[in-house]
Amino acid sequence: MFTSMRFILATMALACVLTANAGEVSSPCFDDRLKSADALWAGSRENARKAYIDLLADMPAKYEPFRSLVIMRLAYASSAADRPQVLHALEQLDYVPEHHALAAREMRAELAAGVNPGQQRTQIPPLPKCDVSVAVSPGGRISNLSDALDEARKYKAAGKSVEIVLAPGVYLQKTTLRLGAGDAGLVIRSADPSQPAVLTGGMVLEKWQKVQDASALARLPEASRHKVLVCDLQGNRVPPLGELVLGGIDDGRLGALVSSGSDEARGSLPVPEFLYKGEVQRLARWPNSGSEELPLNKSPQMADPQFERWNGESDLWIHGFLGNDWADSYQKFERVHPDGKITVVPPYHKWGLNYGNGCVVNALCELDQPGEWQFDSKNNIIYFLPPEGFDPSQCVLSSFGSVLIAEACPHLELRDLGVNKIRGDGLIFIDCDQLLLAGIDIEACSGYGVRSLGGVQQVIHSCTIHGMGRGGLELHSGDWATLSPGDSIVENCRFSDMARINHTYAPAILLDGMGLKVRHNSFTDIPSSALRLETCNVLIELNYFRHCVYESGDQGTTDTFGNPLYRGNIIRWNLFDDIISQHQDKLGAACVRLDDYVSGYMISENIFRRGGQGISPKFFGAVQVNKGTDNYIEGNLIIDWPRAFSGASGVGAVWAKLKIFPWSQPFLQKADWQSSAWQKMYPKLRDLFNGEDNGNYLADNQQFGAGVWHEITDSLAVANLRGDESFHGRTNEALKSVLAPWHPIPVEQIGPYQLINGKR
């Protein structure tokens, strides 16, 4: 039996568990009546059903936003024969919160077919039968993908369907393949999925020697001066890489424009990276760990000569949280002045340089740690301080760019391939409808793993994206402003170790569009957000998040910003673990953050387990709402969080400021949100600027541990419960033991569900 019933029964004598929370609106009568009905499940589900009927017949007007909540309880309490009638009553409401509408559809489908479609896995489409297979092997007649594409196009021109099949091996891709409409339907795959072919941009650097140049020796630290090795890239057949340019969010240094029919973005900067024994090595830096406050563009109180050695560097960059705690950036070093002031080369970062908390990177004069390296772009050479037992055959430089760029190429399929050591973005797709990426293992790219701008009905399935310099996947599919769904899905993928170069605003997945699904994935070890949502009608479900937002502050594992029109998004059935920020003392880190007027989100039946660090007003709760409205936060388990929820609803004068809020105005101007189509799909928009009627709705959440609720101000809250402080919910069985029967979270299905290429 549902063991949390004892918590309900223990609190029945209280008027309301949460009335002490600042700014919260609650009704002792309604709250207790709902809890009384819930408590009847322990003895008789039929009695609970009758109590819900009575409650629906006599519901206070103030609590109408919870009518669908009670109807869904009634549906769960009713027999299978009676449920369709209950669901019909739900559908007659003027507005049904999207998570309840989804649950109702799934309940109807389960009644009809015996299975819940929300708990079914998306199947990878079967491999198409092609007329011609072009075989590629390291020692064969065709030994590289470029020649294979030329061969495939001959057959395509004759009207044949073609697949390119690569034998096991590593294929150096020196040029970016360009695919277009004529390549529609092409399949590129490995012959043996258990031994995937690898497409790489990495060149092995085997020719090293001791440093001979007197000026370089003079700049090297004395302790490492005679241990550092130098590699002439031209002598290793690596073409000139050009100037080293490091960039970041809003700093003016962006890659080439990538445009589609519906959107555009800037590609990642083509930053080369050096790997030894498969691991990316770090650019020589000071300090060797952490950061220091640097006098950027301002004179310090006292002249400090310690930085003058940097004046001999030509490719030196300063990196850190230079203007604030939530956005890192790079600035090109110019010089250190006699008074100790450090000047940098414009363009300056959008957020300024006042904070100046950072480090210098790519400094030959700081090359003092084994594994560090420095790139001299002027002379096209690199310096490396090797560890003990140096093996030059294990030295690789990411020298070449994206493997392919496909544009307006529908029905393209890439299956069971490795992509690694790419200088920039791994794979780029522009307006490619019905794209399929299945079993793609992408590693050690200095940009994004995959960028797909435009295109609908795309499937990205069972892929691994690991060790990216920026983010993992950028997916623009559909258009929220025109209510055009993309119908694309990301499922059963693993994202880890993102944002090695650009630490913030480089999420594992950046979603832009409408009608997308992200399900059954894992997101681990990500310094900032795992998901950034710029979407409507997106379903985020059955994902596992661990150790995210650990470096950035003022962010969420799932983060959305600035647009009150991002409606209909559902975040349900996810598990968030260990969401603790290094900047927690200054700004917060949440599991779900709805920043600056974001509204209409459904955050339902998630598990927020272990996060935050304290209960100061600065610290975020598991869910942070910043001035938004119409958000439903319902049926979640909050375990070992110092604060469950935080923030404020956008009501009255606060919400009225949206009309002049500069960051939100472009969103409001982009969409015809006052049209009948928009307001039919999102009825709450009719009251967008009504002020006092706006609020957020919190129900059925259970908190375990010693934290405080501190609910979102000006919210309406019912049936939220305190659990056992000793409960930590570390196993699936423990989690299932505290679930309410009307919130059946499928905990055993959370996360990826199969091996990918034989590996976890």
Residues in the chain: 760
Residue type, 247: G
**pLDDT band at residue 663 using 50, 70 and 90 as cut-offs:** confident
> Does the pLDDT at position 628 exceed 80?
yes
pLDDT at residue 18 above 90? no
For residue 334, what pLDDT band results from cuts at 50, 70 and 90?
very high
Q: Are 342 and 318 in contact (CB under 8 A)?
A: yes
Please tell me the predicted confidence (pLDDT) of residue 259. 63
What number is the average pLDDT over the span 58-75?
A: 95
Q: Residue 279 — very low, low, confident or very high, per pLDDT cuts 50/70/90?
A: very high
> Confidence band (pLDDT; 50, 70, 90) for 554?
confident
pLDDT at 58 over 70: yes
pLDDT tens profile 607-619? 999 998 766 767 8
Residue 35: which of 44, 54, 48 has the closest Cα? 48
CA–CA distances in Å: residue 179 to residues 166, 188, 399, 414: 18, 12, 21, 13
pLDDT at 260: 63
The runs of H, that is alpha helices, within 63-97 are 67-77, 83-91
Mean pLDDT along residues 197-214:
96
Name the band, by pLDDT with cuts 50, 70 and 90, for residue 256: low
Answer whether residue 303 shows pLDDT above 90. no
The amino acid at residue 291 is S
Distance CA 319, CA 501 (A): 10
Q: Following DSSP, what letter does each residue of 606-639 receive, concatenated? A: -EEEEE----STTS--SEEEES--S-EEES-EEE
* pLDDT at position 691: 55
What residue has token string 């299978």?
Answer: 80
d(CA 565, CA 535): 9
746 in Cβ contact with 520 (< 8 Å): no
Which of 536, 274, 321, 303 minimizes the C-alpha distance to 421?
A: 274
Which pLDDT does position 36 carry in this prediction?
94
Average pLDDT over every residue of 715-728: 93
Q: Is the pLDDT of residue 756 over 70?
A: no
Q: How far apart are CA 549 and CA 628, in angstroms?
A: 22
Rounding to the nearest 10 degrees, give the CA dihedral for residues 366, 253, 262, 496. 10
The pLDDT value recorded for residue 253 is: 67
Position 98 confidence tier, pLDDT thresholds 50, 70, 90:
very high
What does the pLDDT read at residue 710?
Answer: 80
Q: How confident is the model at residue 479 (pLDDT cuts 50, 70, 90)?
A: very high
Whether the pLDDT of residue 758 is over 60: the answer is no
3-state secondary structure 452-471: EECCCCCEEECCEEECCCCC
pLDDT score of 584 more than 60? no
How does the average pLDDT of the chain come out, rounded? Answer: 90
> Residue 249: pLDDT band by 50, 70, 90 thresholds?
low
**Percentage of the residues of the chain whose pLDDT score is greater than 70:** 90
Confidence of residue 760 (pLDDT cuts 50, 70, 90): very low
What is the predicted pLDDT for the residue at 70? 98
Please report the pLDDT score of residue 650 as a whole number: 82
Please state whether beta strands 209-210 and 229-232 pair in parallel, antiparallel, or not at all (unpaired). Answer: antiparallel
pLDDT of residue 6: 39
pLDDT per position as a tens digit, 419-458:
999 999 999 999 999 999 999 999 999 999 999 999 999 9
pTM of the predicted structure, to 2 decimals: 0.93
pLDDT of residue 378: 93
Break the chain into its structural domains and give their ranges. Answer: 5-119, 132-200, 209-396
Confidence bin at 694 (pLDDT 50/70/90): low
The pLDDT tens digits for 453-463 are 999 999 999 99
d(CA 669, CA 665): 6
Report the DSSP beta bridge partners of residue 589: 555
Dihedral pair phi/psi, residue 99, rounded to 5°: -70, -30
Burial of 219 (0-12, 13-18, 19+ CB in 10 A): buried
> 3-state class of 27 per DSSP?
coil
546 vs 624: CA distance, rounded Å: 18
Whole-number percent of the chain with pLDDT over 90:
76
Segment 462-485 shows an average pLDDT of 97
pLDDT class for 262, splitting at 50, 70, 90? low
Band of residue 254 on the pLDDT scale cut at 50, 70, 90: low
| 698 strand-pairing partners | 633, 717
Amino acid at 92: Q
Work out the average pLDDT over 729-755.
Answer: 93
17-31, 342-356, 375-389, 575-589: least confidently modelled range: 17-31
Looking at residue 621, its amino acid is: G
Residue 581 gets the label, from left (phi > 0), alpha (psi -120 to 50) or beta, of beta
Per DSSP, the three-state class of 166 is strand
What burial letters (b/e) apply to 317-352, b meaning 16+ CB within 10 Å? bbbbbbbbbbbbbbbbbbebeeebbbebeeebbebe
Q: What's the whole-number mean pLDDT along residues 471-475?
A: 97
Residue 475 has pLDDT above 80, yes or no: yes
How far is Cα 89 from Cα 145, in angstroms, rounded to an integer? 58
What is the DSSP code string of 700-750?
S-EEESS-B--PPBTEEEES-EE--TT----SHHHHHTT--TTS---GGG-
Q: Which of 649, 636, 648, 641 is nearest to 709 (CA)?
A: 641
Q: What is the DSSP letter of 201?
A: -
CB 407 within 8 A of CB 430: yes
- The band of 586, judged by pLDDT with boundaries at 50, 70 and 90, is low
